[in-house]
C-alpha cells in the first residue's frame, strides 16, 4: 500500500509528516545520520490543527523535526523540493511502498493538500523549535563556563545591567504561563513585549565593553605592560561573553513568545513575522561577530608583537601569548554555541633560541656590519638568557655565539697579516 510523506524545510530544520514507520524509513533512507534521526523531535500534535488537517488528507498521523547540520543540510538541498512563494518554505511529497521510499515528487501547486494558514503554522513551529535548540545550547554554554550571569552582575552598579535581570524574571514568568495554558494571551504579551528594548540595550552595552577591551590593546605600551593588560582582559572577556550569551538566550525566548502570540491573534501574519524575526536575529549575530572579531584581531596583533620581543623579554612575551590564546579559546567556544562560523587557531610563543637563530641568520645575510651587531647583541642576549631561561639555554646560546666568532673569510686574512 502506497503512503505519502509531506516534507517541509526552512533551511534550519526539516519537518517530515507521515506514518511513524514511514517517516523513520525516509530519514534513514535519504542518508541522514543516525544521530540526527535519533534526535528528531515530535512536532506538537495539537498545534492549530496542522497535523489534524494532514491526517484528514490521508497523509500523516505524526510529524518529526530534525535540525539541519552542515552535513544534513547538504542532503536536504538535494531533495527535489519546490519553494512556496508565500512562505519561503521548501516543500515536497514522498511516496513509499512497503516502507521503502519510491520517489519524491515536486508538485505544481505546492502545499495543495494544505491551506496557507496550516503551512504558515508549520513553518512557525519549525522556527520555534530551532530557537529552542539555540536556547538549550546557550544554557549549556553558560553551565560549561560555570559563569552565572547573576554572579557576574552582582557587583555591577549600572542600571542597564540590572534591568536585564528584571527582564529575565518577566520572560520566565511568561514562559511558565505559556507552558500552563498552551498559549500567549494578550495580557501576558503586554507584560513581556517591552523587554525587547531592555535586552537590546544591555547587549549593546556589553558589546561596547568588548570593543573597549580591544581598543586598550592598540595603545602603545611596553611589553611588560602589554602582558599585564592581556592577562587582565581575559577574565573580563569571559564575563561579557556570558552577559551577551544570556541576552541572546532571552531574545530567542522572547521570539518564541512573540511567534506564539501572532499564531494566536493573527495567524495570517505568521509568515511575515517569522521571516522578520529571522532577519533581525541574523543582524544581531553579525553585530556580535563584528565585535568579537575585532577583539581577536587585536589579540593576534599582540601575539605578533610579543614574538618579535621574545629575545629580550621571553617571560612577558609568553605571558602575552598565553593570555591571548585563552581569550581566543573563550571566543571560539562562544561562537560555537551561538552558531557564529568563525574559528580561532591558537598561536605558539616563539622559543628564545629560535628567535636568536633567526636574528643570527639575518645578521649574516646583512654582511660584516650585521655580523658585528649580532655579536654585540648576542653578548647582551646571553646574559638575559641566563636569567630568563636557565643555565642550559644559556650554555646552548653561548656555544652558538662562539660559532659566530670563529674567524672566516676577510677576518682570517687580516689575522694572518697581523701575525
Residue 49 confidence (pLDDT) above 70? no
Write the DSSP string, 326-351.
HHHHHHHHHHHHHT--------PPPP
Least confident of 63-67, 175-179, 266-270, 287-291: 63-67
Max mean pLDDT range (89-103, 165-179, 218-232, 320-334):
165-179
Burial category of 200 from C-beta neighbours within 10 Å (exposed 0-12, middle 13-18, buried 19 and up): middle
* Residue 326 to residue 335: CA distance in whole angstroms: 14
Condensed to tens digits (0 to 9), the pLDDT of residues 274-317 reads: 999 999 999 999 999 999 999 998 888 888 777 777 655 677 78
Range 292-295 contact pairs with CB under 8 angstroms and sequence separation of 24 or more: 292/210, 292/241, 292/331, 292/334, 292/335, 292/340, 292/342, 293/342, 294/211, 294/214, 295/210, 295/211, 295/213, 295/214, 295/237, 295/327, 295/331
Hey, which residues does 245 pair with through a beta bridge? none
Condensed to tens digits (0 to 9), the pLDDT of residues 341-350 reads: 765 454 554 4
Mean pLDDT, range 159-166, rounded to an integer: 83
Residue 371: the pLDDT is 42
Q: What is the b/e burial string over 9-36, where b = at least 16 CB atoms within 10 angstroms of the residue's CB? A: bbebbbbbbbbeebbbbbbeebebeeeb
Per domain, the residue ranges of the chain are: 2-118, 145-295, 352-418
Share of the chain above pLDDT 70, in %: 65
Name, in order, each residue with C-beta under 8 angstroms of 156's C-beta and a sequence gap of 6 or more.
Answer: 162
- Cell reading at 11: 533551511
* Closest to 248 measured CA to CA, from 137, 333, 147, 331: 137
Radius of gyration from C-alpha coordinates of the chain? 31
Mean pLDDT, range 156-171, rounded to an integer: 83
Residue 292: the pLDDT is 93
Q: What is the b/e burial string over 312-323, where b = at least 16 CB atoms within 10 angstroms of the residue's CB? A: bbbebbbbbbbb
Condensed to tens digits (0 to 9), the pLDDT of residues 7-35 reads: 888 888 888 887 777 788 888 777 775 65
Residue 389 confidence (pLDDT) above 70? no
Name, in order, each residue with C-beta under 8 angstroms of 66's C-beta and a sequence gap of 6 or more.
Answer: 13, 14, 16, 27, 32, 36, 37, 39, 40, 41, 72
Around Cβ 288, how many Cβ atoms within 10 Å? 23
Residue 241: the pLDDT is 93
Residue 148: the pLDDT is 58
Name, in order, each residue with C-beta under 8 angstroms of 344's C-beta and a sequence gap of 6 or more.
Answer: 296, 328, 329, 331, 332
Residue 343 or residue 182, greater confidence: 182
Please report where in the chains the cell 494566536 appears, as a residue.
Answer: 264
Residue 41 or residue 131, greater confidence: 131
Read off the pLDDT band of 209 (50, 70, 90). very high
- Cell reading at 109: 501547486
* Closest to 335 measured CA to CA, from 386, 292, 399, 298: 292
DSSP secondary structure code for residue 231 in this structure: H
Residue 352: the pLDDT is 39
Read off the pLDDT band of 38 (50, 70, 90). low
Residue 91: the pLDDT is 86
Mean pLDDT, range 157-176, rounded to an integer: 87
Mean pLDDT, range 364-380, rounded to an integer: 45
Residue 34: the pLDDT is 61
Residue 116: the pLDDT is 74
* Residue pair 299/217 in contact by the 8 Å Cβ criterion: yes
pTM for this structure? 0.74
Condensed to tens digits (0 to 9), the pLDDT of residues 71-120 reads: 778 888 888 788 887 788 888 887 766 555 555 554 444 444 567 777 88
* Residue pair 405/415 in contact by the 8 Å Cβ criterion: no
* Residue pair 81/7 in contact by the 8 Å Cβ criterion: yes
* Residue 267 to residue 124: CA distance in whole angstroms: 10
Compute CA distances 133 → 167, 169, 294, 338, 397, whole Å: 21, 21, 28, 10, 56
* Residue 140 to residue 135: CA distance in whole angstroms: 9
Condensed to tens digits (0 to 9), the pLDDT of residues 138-151 reads: 999 988 876 556 66
Compute CA distances 277 → 270, 271, 288, whole Å: 11, 10, 17
The mean pLDDT value of the chain amounts to 74
Condensed to tens digits (0 to 9), the pLDDT of residues 222-264 reads: 888 888 888 899 888 998 999 999 999 999 999 999 999 998 8
Residue 74: the pLDDT is 83
Name, in order, each residue with C-beta under 8 angstroms of 148's C-beta and a sequence gap of 6 or more.
Answer: 142
Mean pLDDT, range 121-129, rounded to an integer: 88
Amino acid at each position: 500500500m502506497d503512503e505519502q510523506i509531506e516534507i517541509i524545510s526552512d533551511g534550519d530544520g526539516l519537518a517530515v509528516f507521515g506514518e511513524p514507520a514511514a517517516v523513520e524509513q525516509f530519514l534513514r533512507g535519504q542518508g541522514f545520520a543516525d544521530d540526527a534521526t535519533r534526535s528528531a523531535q515530535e512536532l506538537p500534535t495539537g498545534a492549530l490543527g496542522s497535523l489534524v488537517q494532514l491526517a484528514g488528507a490521508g497523509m500523516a498521523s505524526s510529524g518529526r523535526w530534525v535540525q539541519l547540520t552542515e552535513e544534513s543540510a547538504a542532503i536536504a538541498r538535494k531533495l527535489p523540493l519546490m519553494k512556496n512563494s508565500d512562505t519561503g518554505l521548501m516543500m515536497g511529497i514522498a511516496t513509499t511502498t512497503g516502507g521503502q521510499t519510491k520517489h519524491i515528487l515536486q508538485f505544481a501547486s505546492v502545499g495543495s493538500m494544505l491551506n496557507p494558514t496550516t503551512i504558515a503554522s508549520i513553518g512557525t513551529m519549525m522556527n520555534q523549535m530551532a530557537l529552542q535548540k539555540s536556547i538549550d545550547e546557550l544554557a549549556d554554554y553558560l553551565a560549561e563556563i560555570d559563569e552565572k550571569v547573576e554572579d557576574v552582575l552582582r557587583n555591577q552598579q549600572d542600571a542597564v545591567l540590572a534591568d536585564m535581570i528584571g527582564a529575565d524574571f518577566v520572560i520566565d514568568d511568561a514562559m511558565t504561563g505559556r507552558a500552563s495554558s498552551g498559549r500567549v494571551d494578550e495580557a501576558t504579551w503586554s507584560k513581556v513585549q517591552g523587554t525587547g528594548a531592555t535586552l537590546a540595550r544591555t547587549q549593546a552595552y556589553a558589546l561596547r565593553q568588548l570593543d573597549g577591551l580591544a581598543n586598550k590593546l592598540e595603545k602603545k605600551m611596553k611589553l611588560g605592560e602589554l602582558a599585564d593588560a592581556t592577562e587582565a582582559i581575559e577574565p573580563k572577556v569571559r564575563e561579557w561573553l556570558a552577559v551577551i550569551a544570556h541576552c541572546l538566550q532571552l531574545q530567542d525566548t522572547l521570539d518564541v513568545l512573540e511567534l506564539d502570540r501572532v499564531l494566536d491573534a493573527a495567524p495570517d501574519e505568521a509568515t511575515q513575522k517569522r521571516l522578520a524575526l529571522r532577519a533581525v536575529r541574523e543582524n544581531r549575530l553579525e553585530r556580535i561577530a563584528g565585535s568579537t572579531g575585532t577583539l581577536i584581531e587585536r589579540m593576534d596583533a599582540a601575539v605578533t608583537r610579543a614574538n618579535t620581543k621574545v629575545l629580550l623579554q621571553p617571560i612577558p612575551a609568553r605571558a602575552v601569548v598565553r593570555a591571548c590564546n585563552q581569550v581566543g579559546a573563550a571566543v571560539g567556544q562562544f561562537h560555537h554555541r551561538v552558531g557564529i562560523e568563525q574559528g580561532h587557531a591558537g598561536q605558539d610563543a616563539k622559543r628564545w633560541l629560535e628567535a636568536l637563530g633567526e636574528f643570527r641568520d639575518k645578521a649574516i645575510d646583512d654582511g660584516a656590519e650585521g655580523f658585528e651587531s649580532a655579536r654585540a647583541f648576542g653578548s647582551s642576549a646571553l646574559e638575559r638568557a641566563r636569567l630568563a631561561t636557565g643555565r642550559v639555554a644559556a650554555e646552548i646560546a653561548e656555544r652558538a655565539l662562539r660559532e659566530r666568532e670563529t674567524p672566516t673569510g676577510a677576518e682570517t686574512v687580516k689575522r694572518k697579516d697581523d701575525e
